[in-house]
């Protein structure tokens, strides 16, 4: 998927309390906003049912393929645009994520997918059912 971010503007950066994830919000005058999430890469363990994959980029909640054109477009946009309207702390956070994605460690990074217990799976299914019923 080719992504043209040239007409988007950096809007905001959100830092999550999970060990390093950040979400960057981009806005456009005609189109829907885009969110780009860089998942933390300090903790390798994750549960597929509960978490996104550590160390990866997500575009509007969809994982971005490593070294893809989409990834290149995101990095190029961030290098050229996002640090201009940001505080020093946010600039540093973005620069650190760019360095991570461009590193060999990123390519070699292998998260550990853990298995939920049957009791936890059952609880999650019940929670989903309750959410669906409440929406009706």
Return the pLDDT at 85. Answer: 66
Helix runs in 1-117, H state only: 69-77, 88-102, 104-108
The residue among 28, 114, 126 whose CA lies nearest residue 77 is 28
**pTM as predicted:** 0.85
Q: Is residue 54 domain-resident?
A: yes
Q: How far apart are CA 60 and CA 56, in angstroms?
A: 13
Q: Is residue 1 domain-resident?
A: no
Residue with the two structure tokens 């590193």: 103
Number of domains in the chain: 1
Q: Is residue 119 domain-resident?
A: yes
pLDDT tops 90 at residue 135: no
Q: 77 lies in which domain range? A: 9-135
What is the average pLDDT value for the chain, to the nearest integer? 91
Contact 93, 15 (CB under 8 A): yes
Token pair belonging to 63: 């994982």
Return the pLDDT at 133. Answer: 86
Return the pLDDT at 42. Answer: 93
Q: How far apart are CA 74 and CA 62, in angstroms?
A: 13
pLDDT (tens digit, 9 = 90+) per residue, 28-66? 989 899 999 999 999 999 998 888 999 999 999 999 999
Q: Is residue 35 domain-resident?
A: yes
Q: Is residue 3 domain-resident?
A: no
Q: Is residue 2 domain-resident?
A: no
Q: Is residue 4 domain-resident?
A: no
């Amino acid at each position: 998927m080719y992504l043209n971010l040239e007409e988007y503007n950096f809007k905001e950066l959100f830092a999550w309390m999970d060990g390093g994830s950040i979400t960057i919000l981009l806005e456009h005058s005609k189109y829907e906003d885009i969110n780009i999430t860089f998942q933390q890469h300090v903790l390798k363990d994750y549960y597929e049912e509960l978490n996104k994959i550590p160390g990866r980029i997500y575009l509007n909640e969809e994982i971005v393929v490593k070294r893809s054109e989409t990834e290149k477009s995101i990095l190029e946009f961030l290098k050229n645009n996002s640090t201009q309207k940001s505080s020093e702390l946010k600039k540093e956070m973005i620069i650190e994520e760019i360095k991570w994605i461009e590193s060999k460690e990123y390519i070699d990074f292998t998260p550990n997918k853990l298995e939920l217990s049957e009791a936890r799976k059952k609880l999650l299914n019940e929670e989903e059912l309750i959410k669906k019923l409440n929406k009706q």
